[in-house]
Structure 1
Amino acid sequence: MKNLYFLIVILSLCGCATSSASKLTSRSSDAIEMCRTEYTKITGTELPLDINNVYVHAGKTMFALLFTHGDLGTFRERSKDYRARISCYVFLRPTMQVQDLREGPKILKESATMIDDASFYEEKIYELFFSKSGPQFTFEDMQIFSIDRINAL
């Protein structure tokens, strides 16, 4: 009987972790679509065709997204032709909203609220990787963000 109780507890804990990861993936997908929509609304065009990946850094109060050509190098080997193309910040409260959108050095939408990257990265951040599959971006992998992976590049 103890073994059955232990098994039920373990399975319920695994279910919670899976549910949390699924919610994070879903909210990240929503943030990607919000950034795409905002980009199209501002520029009058779709995302550049060479964008094939999105990296989402998910925190408690905002998501920082980076649309790239090629692999950044935190999940797979860095692409020789890697280029960061578009960055987008989505605030989560009071509702999900695009607050900052940039294409290279060009500011398309600037946040009225100061974005403090330093304090954002002090908390535990999840890094999610999406790759382009047809017209959509598909979730590939997730890990806890580590600055060491960036510094190693």
Structure 2
Amino acid sequence: GLVAPQRRSYAQKFTLLQYVDDVITRIGRMFPDMSIELFRPNGTSAVLLVTLGKVLKAIVVMRSLFIDRTIVRGYHENVYSEDGKLDIWSKSNYQVFQKVTDHATTALLHYQLPQMPDVVVRSFMTWLRSYIKLFQTPCQRCGKFLQDGLPPTWRDFRTLEAFHDTCRQ
């Protein structure tokens, strides 16, 4: 009777890992312009490195099936720390990607559905993918590409339309 609980938790853990892998693989197939690399720095929790075209890289830190937090950096910015591990803490050197990081944090709060984590991951990735034309899309409200030197960094959660921060209010 003492062996069973341990075996069960191992099976659950394995199923969970498998599930995350499957969800990520499916999303990767849905979006050819988005590449997703999966890392497991501590053995279980996944960290995703999402590369979106030649626009940006997002580090998505998972806690089991849930997205814990994310950091967005420019495509050419380094995403690794000195020890060769993914740098999951440092923010981008560029204001535009710092803004996108802030919006991504808000997006995570918006897309919360505790019963359907795979839908959340898919919704978030769909939202993130709307940044593929970050520097080529004008603001839906003012029609301009730049405001205070920045492109429209906000993406509507429903329509995915682009807005400058100040134009979305």
The TM tier, using the shorter chain, reads 0.3 to 0.5
Bigger RCO of structures 1 and 2 (CA < 8 A, at least 6 apart): 1
Comparing both structures, which one devotes a greater share of its residues to strand?
1
TM-score by length of structure 1 reads 0.34
